């Protein structure tokens, strides 16, 4: 396919923005193994789950674990319980996994959330060369934290993220060991969460869902106004990372969306197995047309 010339904005962008609207007529995702949600509710009603854990155990969450277990419900339940234990041990919902505790990890912009691909998946940019810390535990926690933050930017019907990885320069710390650890966490505790991986400046890799050195705009993977111009991505957004601006805006955007959706979940009965599709469609009616972050975007880049 011929190259596509992309005209970038001259006004720097420093903030993330809300997800695109649900396309008109978009169908509800198919649902299988529906009875497991009821079984999980009955089972965990006898266990000391807090509301955050019940909220996490949505219909779609349970479905992902069932599909990853090849439809074997017993295996899915075992994996769900293991993940709940891991989340508690890792400290989700505590200071250990808070924005304040992990802010230093984000100072260089080594992991950023920005834009959405053509499947409406939020983009997570990974820059190994920007590594700024040496403690592997903090680095892995930060990756998980940013994954969870990206999840709050899902629109209805979206359950996966898109990774944008640039290997133009070598990582300063971590490297292969961290990659293996995160892959293990991804497989065990985040089944079916990786929708696509777009990788540039790497001479090898051939794997399903991974696009190597793609022409992102020409190949119609990502719209130009949802993609950065920098570092071989070829988009139309002149993005500049400023931690003092980006970080609080991302945290506010994520927090506000999480609060709205949690309130809707409570209004729907605070049940395990609540449909994310139904919840998010209800919650979208409560979102302001323009978030505080979007208000800072050039007009051509607002959703």
Q: Which residues of the chain have pLDDT under 70?
A: 1-11, 31-47, 168-176, 201-214, 216, 230-235, 286-303
Distances in Å between the Cα of 106 and the Cα atoms of 111, 141, 151, 267, 286 are 7, 11, 18, 35, 30
pLDDT value at position 2?
Answer: 38
The backbone torsions φ and ψ at residue 298, rounded to the nearest 5 degrees and listed phi first, read -60, 150
With tokens 């505080």, the residue in question is 292
Buried b vs exposed e over 168-179: b needs ≥16 C-beta within 10 Å?
A: eeebeebeeebe
pLDDT value at position 213?
Answer: 54
The answer to whether the CB of 225 falls within 8 A of the CB of 123 is no
pLDDT value at position 41?
Answer: 53
H helix or E strand, kind and range, residue 268: none
pLDDT value at position 30?
Answer: 72
* Domain layout of the chain by residue ranges: 35-301
- Read off the pTM: 0.82
pLDDT digits (tens, 9 = 90+) for 129-166: 899 999 999 999 999 999 999 999 999 999 999 998 87
pLDDT value at position 166?
Answer: 79
HSE value, Cβ hemisphere, 13 Å, CA-based, for 257: 26
pLDDT digits (tens, 9 = 90+) for 165-196: 877 666 555 566 787 899 899 999 999 999 99
DSSP code string of 242-279: -HHHHHHHHHHHHHHHHHHHHHHHHHTT--TT--HHHH
CB neighbours of residue 185 within 10 Å: 17
Name the DSSP letter for residue 219: T
The answer to whether the CB of 147 falls within 8 A of the CB of 193 is yes
The answer to whether the CB of 13 falls within 8 A of the CB of 297 is yes
pLDDT value at position 17?
Answer: 81
Could you confirm whether domain 35-301 is CATH 3.40.50.460? no
pLDDT value at position 170?
Answer: 61
Helices 35-44 and 73-90, packing angle to 10 deg: 50
pLDDT digits (tens, 9 = 90+) for 201-215: 664 544 455 565 567
């Amino acid at each position: 396919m011929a190259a596509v010339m992309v005209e970038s904005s001259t006004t720097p962008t420093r903030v993330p923005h809300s997800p695109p609207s649900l396309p008109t007529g978009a169908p509800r995702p198919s649902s299988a193994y529906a009875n497991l949600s009821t079984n999980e509710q009955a089972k965990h009603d006898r266990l000391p789950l807090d509301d955050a854990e019940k909220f996490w155990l949505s219909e779609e969450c349970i479905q992902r674990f069932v599909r990853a277990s090849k439809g074997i419900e017993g295996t899915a339940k075992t994996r769900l319980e293991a993940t709940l234990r891991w989340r508690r041990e890792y400290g989700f919902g505590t200071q250990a996994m808070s924005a304040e505790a992990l802010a230093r990890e984000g100072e260089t912009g080594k992991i950023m959330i920005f834009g959405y691909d053509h499947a409406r998946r939020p983009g997570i940019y990974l820059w190994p060369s920007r590594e700024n810390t040496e403690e592997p535990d903090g680095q892995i926690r930060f990756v998980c934290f940013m994954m969870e933050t990206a999840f709050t930017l899902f629109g209805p019907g979206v359950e996966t993220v898109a990774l944008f990885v640039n290997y133009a320069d070598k990582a300063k710390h971590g490297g292969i060991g961290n990659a293996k650890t995160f892959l293990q966490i991804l497989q065990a505790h985040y089944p079916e969460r990786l929708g696509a991986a777009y990788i540039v400046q790497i001479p090898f890799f051939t794997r399903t869902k991974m696009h190597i050195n793609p022409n992102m705009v020409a190949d119609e993977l990502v719209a130009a106004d949802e993609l950065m111009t920098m570092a071989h991505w070829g988009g139309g957004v002149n993005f500049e990372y400023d931690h003092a601006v980006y970080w609080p805006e991302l945290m506010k955007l994520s927090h506000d969306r999480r609060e709205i959706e949690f309130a809707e979940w409570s209004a729907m009965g605070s049940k395990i197995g609540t449909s994310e599709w139904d919840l998010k469609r209800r919650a979208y009616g409560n979102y302001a047309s323009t978030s505080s972050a979007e208000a800072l975007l050039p007009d051509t880049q607002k959703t």
